[in-house]
């Protein structure tokens, strides 16, 4: 039975295979074409458009994080530095040229700042070379050769360096003194050069190999040094000795002219004739070395010392005096003089390229050699700095994105007495700053003008508020609360006045400080006033060495710190939450005191130099300090930027700076520190990705 079943299954399977084969052969075939495997027709392929990859937004790195990563560094520098020494007295402001010069042929201009040596083509103002300087280096003297082929610079370590100005390649560098090269000059034939080390050691050197020819040590300060036109003599002023004339061959003293012993800018040596000019009292004294003749030019009035004295050509001497706007031009043949305004002088032409300091001063400043003012504040969005300086050009709004001072429509604004209000506007307080005519006496009644600027509309004037006053003495300092409702003024007799700007009423008069005598019998009391961020506390500090903090709710005195007189110039600062006040103590340390309780102050001591500015990080965990060197016997001691951990009073960073620090400010988001130094430069510090 099983056998017959298996046979039937085999037969059935055979029929099935035949059926399948028959179905497959129903399609016609071609003998001339090879059999092809049929292919399916696919629908059109859709190209998928990929989503664009999002650009990663850099995550802001706070200063604290940068310090932890070891990436905290100087990121950017605004300006090259000031080449003019600003001098001021009252409303009088003038400038003296500092380490900048034109080549004798007038084709190049060289400026030296704490940060570098910069050379330019005068016709195009194209930068020819930029030689950076480290904080350890300071250029102390410079000069061109007579034929304009060489430029020399002496530094604080006693090294003199020569450059070929056609290529600005360094030609030679010689160690000529142990201390600073305070003066130098190149002989007319470029064979020798003279230097003065630390104003005491006069030395003549061979240009080819730097070998010493002769040296003389002087007990009195000496300098500057000048070669005569023929190179036979060297003229050097010496304290209490007058002008000393030396033989350039062997430094033999040949003559001494006591009436000519002045220093620039009260002295000038002609590059065209063997003539020297000095100023004293109301007389310009001229001495002709060839004729050995002295002549005097008496001016029409007695002036303070000159700010500039230059021989413009063989026949003309120019003199500019402090507190006097016009320029004196002295005819060296007739000894007559005329006075010209700057506008009239600028229309003249003279042989000496140093005259370009007047003709091209604005062009020079645009190269980055005009100082920026101290940092007063920063806009809430962190994009613009408020600066206050000596001049209108150095005061105003500095755009951090455009990296330049903004052009504003507001003409007159008291940037030095301005604060940001809680609504984001900027308020400046001004008044008629009467000149005190008596040592003591009541100030005439007047009124304050509070001008409100809106940063959202290019700092246009939004409103003005008037507040009348009738005070016991002249005004020292003023400020306004962050709410814009309270005006505070401190007067020279120590009184503190507070007004409500809504009601125009005087709220209170407080005796906060004592008046302190100053030169000529005058006196003052206040060095500063400031509110904390929300306006709940007011800090005052005065010349009497006292720092006080008041509670604005009831005007009660919360703390009073006595005996800190010398540091009255350094502004105490509130912590971001207003709970602490940091100030500089008379022992040189920085102290952090609590306003809310009697906790022992935190003390930050590692300060060799005098602290000049302090600031908190945005979150209040770090303290920054800048300093300056007050040791005149150690002028090369560097200024430092220091960063402190507040929690454990530990010094985290000690960073050398090119110049002393005047002001510090941290950005609102805590990512950048802005440092303003004595050269008018603002540097930006923060996270440097390249250091990772």
Q: Cα–Cα distance between 114 and 203 in angstroms, integer?
A: 26
User: Pick the residue with more confidence: 142 or 679?
Assistant: 142
Q: What pLDDT is attached to residue 361?
A: 86
pLDDT band at 517 (very low <50, low <70, confident <90, very high): confident
Instruction: Assess whether pLDDT exceeds 70 at residue 636.
Output: no
Which has the minimum average pLDDT: 175-179, 457-461, 516-520, 547-551?
Answer: 516-520
Domain assignment present for 491: yes
Q: Let me know: does 671 contact 65? Beta carbons within 8 Å.
A: no
Q: At which residue do the structure tokens 């380490």 appear?
A: 99
Would you say residue 304 lies in a domain? no
**Residue 88 scores a pLDDT above 70:** no
CA distances from 512 to 476, 525, 526, 539, 543 (A): 13, 9, 9, 10, 12
Whole-number pLDDT of residue 583: 94
pLDDT above 60: residue 384: yes
Mean pLDDT of 62-78: 96
The CATH number of whichever domain residue 588 belongs to comes to 2.130.10.10
Region 110-120 average pLDDT: 94
| 3-state secondary structure string across 433-456 | CCCCCCCCCCCCCEEEEEEEEEHH
Q: What percentage of the chain has pLDDT greater than the value 90?
A: 69
Least confident of 33-37, 58-62, 253-257, 264-268: 33-37
Nearby residues of 225 by Cβ (< 8 Å), 6 or more positions away = 183, 184, 185, 194, 195, 196, 202, 234, 235, 236
The number of distinct structural domains making up the chain is: 1
Q: Tens of pLDDT along 418-467?
A: 999 999 999 999 998 765 545 556 778 999 999 999 988 789 999 999 99
Query: Which pLDDT does position 574 carry in this prediction?
Result: 97
pTM of the model: 0.84
Residue 645 maps to a domain? yes
pLDDT of residue 456: 83
Q: How far apart are CA 294 and CA 290, in angstroms?
A: 11
- Mean pLDDT for 75-96 is 67
* Structure-model confidence comparison of residues 132 and 19, the more confident one: 132
Of the candidates 89, 518, 86, 100, which has an alpha carbon nearest to the alpha carbon of residue 304? 89
Q: Has residue 34 got a pLDDT over 50?
A: no
Domain residues for the domain of 482 are 68-75+371-691
629: pLDDT strictly greater than 70: yes
- Count of positions (residues) in the chain: 692
Alpha carbons 292 and 290: distance in angstroms, whole number: 6
Give me the pLDDT at residue 23, please: 38
Distance of CA 156 to the CA centre of its chain: 21
Structural domain contains residue 481: yes
Task: Judge whether 209 lies within some domain.
Answer: no
With a cut of 60, say whether residue 360 has pLDDT above it. Answer: yes
Angstrom distances, CA of residue 397 to CA of 254, 413, 677: 58, 11, 17
What is the DSSP track for 297-366? EE-SS----EEEEEE-SSSEEEEEETT--SEEEEETTT--EEEE-HHHHHT---S-GGGHHHHTHHHHII
Instruction: Look at residue 457 and tell me if it is in a domain.
Output: yes
Residue 19 has pLDDT above 60, yes or no: no
Res 470 pLDDT > 90: yes
User: Is 213 inside a domain boundary?
Assistant: no
Calculate the dihedral angle through the C-alpha atoms of 270, 275, 279, 284, rounding to the nearest 10 degrees: -120
Phi and psi, residue 259, nearest 5°: -75, -5
Which of 303, 317, 308 lies closest to 361, judged by CA?
A: 308
What confidence tier does 523 reach under pLDDT thresholds 50, 70, 90?
confident
Lookup result for tokens 């034939």? 189
Q: Please classify residue 249 by burial: count the beta carbons closer than 10 Å to its beta carbon, then call 0-12 exposed, 13-18 middle and 19+ buried.
A: middle
**CA pseudo-torsion sign 565, 567, 569, 574:** negative
pLDDT of residue 38 exceeding 50, the answer is no
pLDDT in tens, 235-293: 999 988 899 999 999 999 999 998 898 888 899 999 999 999 999 888 999 999 999 99
The sign of the dihedral angle between the CA atoms of 152, 153, 154, 159 is negative
* Average pLDDT estimate for 507-535: 89
| 226 has pLDDT over 60 | yes
What is the mean pLDDT of the segment spanning 293-302? Answer: 90
CB 484 within 8 A of CB 421: yes
Say if residue 524's pLDDT is above 80: yes
Q: Does the pLDDT at position 409 exceed 90?
A: no
- At residue 603 the predicted structure's pLDDT band, cuts being 50, 70 and 90, is very high
Contact 622, 63 (CB under 8 A): yes
For the chain, the average pLDDT equals: 87
Average pLDDT over residues 643-656: 95
d(CA 580, CA 562) in angstroms, rounded, equals 17
SS3 for 404-444 is: EECCCCCCCCCHHHEEECCCCCEEEEECCCCCCCCCCCCCC
For the segment 650-661, what is each residue's pLDDT rounded down to a tens digit? 999 999 998 889
Q: Taking a C-beta distance cutoff of 8 angstroms, is the pair 76, 685 a contact?
A: no
Query: Is residue 225 scored above 90 in pLDDT?
Result: yes
What local confidence, expressed as pLDDT, does residue 622 receive? 97
Residue 18 has pLDDT above 50, yes or no: no
Record the tokens describing residue 588, joined without a space: 């040189």
Q: Do residues 269 and 257 make contact, with C-beta atoms less than 8 angstroms apart?
A: no
Choice among 107-116, 179-188, 209-218, 316-325 with the minimum mean pLDDT: 316-325
Q: Pick the residue with more confidence: 554 or 137?
A: 554
Neighbour tally for 511: CB within 10 Å: 10
Sequence-distant (≥ 6) Cβ neighbours of residue 359 within 8 angstroms? 346
pLDDT band of residue 28 (cuts 50, 70, 90) is very low
Q: Omega into 265 within 30° of 0, i.e. cis?
A: yes
DSSP conformational letter for 391: S
Q: Is residue 593 classed as helix, strand or coil in its secondary structure?
A: strand
Residues 287 and 274 sit within 8 Å (Cβ to Cβ): no
**How much is the average pLDDT of 525-548?**
94
Q: Look at residues 93, 548, 498 and name the one whose alpha carbon lies nearest to residue 324.
A: 93
Q: Residue 48 — pLDDT band, cuts 50, 70, 90?
A: very low
The residue ranking higher by pLDDT, 26 or 240, is: 240
119 DSSP β-pair partners: 110, 129
- What's the pLDDT at 22? 42
Please give the average per-residue pLDDT across 559-573, as a whole number: 81
pLDDT in tens, 335-354: 999 999 999 999 999 999 99
Residue 44 binned pLDDT confidence (cut-offs 50, 70, 90)? very low
The stretch 107-119 carries a mean pLDDT of: 94
Distance CA 598, CA 580 (A): 11
Q: Is residue 34 part of a domain?
A: no
Q: For strands 590-594 and 580-584, give the pairing.
A: antiparallel
Cβ atoms within 10 Å, residue 430: 16
pLDDT at residue 296, as a whole number: 94
Work out the average pLDDT over 642-651: 96
């Amino acid at each position: 039975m099983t056998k017959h079943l298996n046979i039937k299954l085999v037969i059935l399977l055979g029929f099935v295979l035949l059926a399948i084969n028959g179905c497959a052969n129903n399609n016609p075939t071609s003998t001339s074409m090879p059999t092809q495997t049929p292919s399916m027709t696919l629908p059109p392929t859709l190209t998928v458009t990929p989503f664009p990859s999002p650009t990663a937004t850099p995550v802001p790195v706070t200063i604290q994080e940068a310090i932890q990563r070891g990436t905290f560094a100087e990121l950017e520098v605004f300006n090259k530095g000031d080449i003019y020494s600003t001098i001021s007295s009252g409303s009088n402001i003038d400038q003296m040229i500092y380490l900048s010069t034109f080549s004798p042929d007038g084709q190049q201009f060289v400026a030296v700042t704490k940060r570098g040596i910069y050379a330019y083509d005068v016709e195009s103002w194209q930068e020819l070379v930029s030689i950076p300087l480290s904080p350890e280096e300071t250029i102390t003297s410079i000069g061109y050769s007579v034929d304009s082929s060489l430029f020399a610079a002496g530094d604080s370590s006693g090294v003199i360096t020569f450059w070929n100005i056609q290529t600005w390649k360094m030609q030679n560098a010689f160690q000529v003194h142990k201390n600073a090269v305070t003066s130098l000059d190149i002989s007319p034939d470029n064979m020798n050069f003279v230097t003065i080390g630390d104003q005491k050691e006069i030395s003549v050197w061979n240009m080819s190999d730097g070998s010493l020819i002769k040296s003389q040590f002087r007990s009195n300060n000496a300098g500057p040094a000048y070669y005569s036109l023929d190179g036979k003599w060297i003229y050097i002023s010496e304290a209490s000795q007058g002008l000393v004339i030396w033989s350039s061959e062997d430094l033999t003293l040949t003559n001494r002219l006591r009436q000519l012993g002045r220093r620039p800018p009260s002295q000038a040596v002609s590059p065209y004739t063997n003539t020297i000019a000095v100023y004293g009292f109301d007389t310009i004294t001229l001495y002709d070395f060839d004729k050995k003749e002295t002549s005097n030019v008496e001016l029409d009035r007695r002036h303070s010392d000159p700010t500039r004295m230059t021989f413009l050509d063989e026949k003309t001497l120019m003199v500019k005096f402090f507190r006097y706007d016009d320029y004196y031009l002295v005819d060296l043949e007739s000894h007559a003089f005329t006075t010209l305004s700057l506008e009239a002088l600028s229309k003249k032409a003279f042989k000496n390229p140093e005259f370009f300091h007047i003709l091209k001063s604005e062009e020079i400043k645009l190269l980055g050699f005009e100082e920026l003012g101290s940092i007063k504040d920063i806009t809430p969005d962190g994009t613009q700095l408020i600066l206050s300086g000596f001049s209108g050009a150095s005061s105003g709004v500095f755009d951090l994105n455009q990296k330049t001072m903004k052009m504003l429509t507001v003409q007159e604004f008291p940037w030095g007495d301005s604060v940001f209000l809680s609504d984001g506007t900027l308020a400046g307080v001004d008044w008629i700053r009467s000149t005190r005519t008596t040592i003591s006496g009541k100030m005439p009644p007047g009124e304050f003008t509070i001008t409100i600027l809106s940063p959202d509309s290019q700092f246009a004037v939004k409103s003005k508020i008037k507040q009348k006053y009738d005070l016991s003495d002249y005004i020292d300092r003023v400020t306004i609360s962050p709410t814009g409702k309270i005006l505070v003024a401190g007067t020279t007799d120590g009184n503190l006045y507070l007004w409500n700007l809504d009601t125009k009423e005087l709220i209170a008069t407080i005796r906060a400080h004592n008046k302190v005598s100053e030169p000529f019998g005058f006196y003052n009391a206040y060095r500063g006033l400031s509110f904390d961020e929300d306006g709940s506390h007011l800090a005052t500090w005065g010349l009497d060495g006292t720092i006080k903090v008041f509670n604005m709710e009831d005007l009660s005195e919360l703390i009073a710190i006595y005996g800190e007189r010398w540091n009255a110039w350094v502004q105490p600062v509130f912590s971001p939450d207003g709970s602490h006040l940091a100030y500089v103590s008379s022992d040189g340390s920085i102290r952090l005191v609590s306003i809310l309780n009697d906790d022992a102050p935190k003390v930050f001591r590692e300060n060799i130099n005098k602290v000049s500015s302090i600031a908190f990080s945005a979150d209040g965990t770090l303290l920054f300090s800048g300093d300056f060197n007050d040791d005149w016997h150690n002028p090369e001691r560097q200024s430092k930027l220091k960063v402190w951990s507040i929690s454990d009073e530990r010094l985290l960073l000690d960073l050398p700076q090119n110049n002393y620090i005047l002001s510090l400010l941290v950005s609102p988001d805590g990512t950048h520190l802005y440092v303003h130094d004595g050269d008018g430069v603002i540097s930006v510090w923060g996270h440097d990705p390249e250091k990772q």
